[in-house]
A and B are shown apart, each in its own frame.
Chain A
Amino acid sequence: MSEEAKVLSSIDLDTLESIRADFPILHQEVNGRPLVYLDNAASSQRPEVVISAMVDYYRKDHSNVHRGAHSLANRATVLFENARLTAQQFLNAASEREVNFTKGTTEGINLLAHSFGRKFIHTGDNMIISELEHHSNIVPWQLICIERKAELRIVRVTENGEWDLDHFDELLDENTKLISTAWVSNSMGTINPVREIISKAHSKNALVHLDAAQAAPHFVIDVQELDVDFMSLSGHKVFAPTGTGIFYGKANWLEDMLPYQAGGEMIRDVDFAGTTFNDLPFKFEAGTPNIAGAIGLAEGFKYLMQQDRESLIAHERRLLDLATELALEIDGLKILGPLNNRAGVLSFNIDRIHAADLGHLLDGQGVAVRTGHHCCQPLMKKFGIDGTCRASFSIYNTEEEVHIFIKALKRAIKMLS
């Protein structure tokens, strides 16, 4: 092993093996070959502790939460609210009142669009997103801006797939109410300059929401340090169940925002003469929550928090760098996104070969990637392409898997040429 490789080899091989052993799904064959799962940006896998926690909850502790008079209800409530405290810890939020359980990032964004947009965005206002957003961070804003007769401004990205900050400066003005952008681009892996965006936004009294779906698995998040106003993330990207997520907001804004969905749990008093709403965080959590999901979500957060995060981050960095280095040796391969400044994702095309064919032939060799527009049609149109082939890495992937992926890719290219 070269000196450079020793320095970069940031994770103890025993630790990596132990992490891999935690994920039962990784140990199977696909099309007669060991599964190499490189579709983590679409969804990550669950460690056994997350799966067991949910099953145990249903086996031993389930009851409805918050209002029950009996022991099971008490146990379920404690588990559920402890899960919220774990989420608070994961984000380093100032208070658990700022932490709401959702179905995922898409729901968080819709919640914000509705609850903030309908009260605080008015005719003549504008809000800002960028060309690289996922559809979930485009369409809710299109709808609310139409409804509120406000302008939706779009920051350009450069040929490298990075925010054009000069263009942002042109678009940001005293009528800008909100900026909503991805921390990490799902289609390219680009890491956006979020601290600069937040600082510039605040200087004009605009608020910032970050779509942290792709950032949460790869970065340690500290919402206080970031001083971000709102954030959404999805559990299933962070080793936790699908149908779970967190919406974070600074308490003073959440207090003032309209409720989102209405019904039980989010009310204080219901009267036909008028209804009053519950305190935070319950105001934004109508109906019986996904209790087992929240417990699973907390276990996913705990699983990550219990690891040596710096070492895992360095490991993921190493995997991405290695994949990038090897990919660039392939003739006709073009990466979408910046050469460096990416997290988790390698998105590319090969000259005269359709990404869909690559995805298929990689699957034939046991390698799972994603092909297509990755729910970023505007970005693909900007670059004049149908889509890309996207390999995305997680903590349980290995350097050996990177080599298998590249070898499989070369074989696929040969078959298609």
Chain B
Amino acid sequence: MASIDEIGKELGEEFAMFDDPMDRYEYLIELGQELPVMKDEWKTDTNVVKGCQSTVWLHADCVDGVMKFHGDSNTVITKGIIALLIRTLSEQKAQDIVKNDLAFIDAIGLRGMLTSQRSNGLSAMVQRMKLYALGYENSNR
């Protein structure tokens, strides 16, 4: 399994192939469409991530110290962002997520594309995923 930072770099290279911001959005939308459908039973109030203009749900499981994330949103572009985060952080060890400095977000190169509202949403999602990982890490000690 590639590391968080390696995947972040890979994604950065994928997005950098597109000069036109609209092509980057197109790609992001495609990634969001490929997101596995999230079970309705996981769309609870506790799984809602605040700090987004749209509604975002994030659900996490941990199996043998490895995090598995599931997410959904009522907005298409946010789904794309969730897809990026899941590709980077899902199937990673909880302790690696907790330790990561989140530089991969800048490596993907999305901040320039995101308004501050969306940036807040992105930060909120990543913080939530980190918190889940921390929670599982602590409960496994």
Contact = CB atoms under 8 A, between A and B. Distances in A.
Interface of A: 31-32, 353-354, 356-357, 360-361, 363-365, 371-372, 387, 411, 415-416
B24 to A, nearest CB: 8
Contacts of B22: 31, 361, 364-365, 411, 415
B54 interface: yes
B74 interface: yes
A353 B118 CA distance: 17
B25 A415 contact: yes
Contact of A416 (B29, B74, B78): B29
A364 B18 CA distance: 13
B47 interface: no
Given A415-B22, A415-B25, 17 more contacts: A31-B21, A353-B76, A354-B54, A354-B74, A354-B75, A354-B76, A356-B53, A356-B54, A356-B78, A357-B77, A361-B22, A361-B25, A363-B115, A364-B22, A371-B53, A411-B22, A415-B26
Given A371-B53, A416-B76, A32 B20 contact: yes
Given A371-B53, A415-B26, A416-B29, A360 B77 contact: yes
B29 A360 contact: no
Nearest to B75: A354
Interface in B1-51: 19-22, 25-26, 29
Contacts of A32: 19-21
B25 A356 contact: no
Interface residues on B, range: 10 to 19
Nearest to A371: B53
Contacts of A415: 22, 25-26, 29
B93 to A, nearest CB: 33
A360 B115 contact: yes
The 5 A-B residue pairs with the shortest CB-CB distance, nearest first, are A354-B75, A31-B21, A364-B21, A357-B76, A356-B53
Interface in B45-91: 53-54, 74-78
A237 B115 CA distance: 22
20 contacts: A31-B22, A32-B19, A32-B21, A353-B76, A356-B75, A356-B77, A360-B25, A360-B115, A360-B118, A361-B77, A363-B115, A364-B21, A371-B53, A372-B53, A387-B53, A411-B22, A415-B22, A415-B26, A416-B29, A416-B76
A92 to B, nearest CB: 40
Contacts of A31: 21-22
A321 B20 CA distance: 32
A32 B24 CA distance: 13
A29 B29 CA distance: 24
Nearest to A354: B75
Contacts of B25: 360-361, 364, 415
Contact of B75 (A357, A363, A411): A357
A354 B79 CA distance: 12
Contacts of B113: 364
A415 B25 CA distance: 9
Nearest to A411: B22
A168 B75 CA distance: 38
A29 to B, nearest CB: 11
A142 to B, nearest CB: 24
A32 B75 CA distance: 25
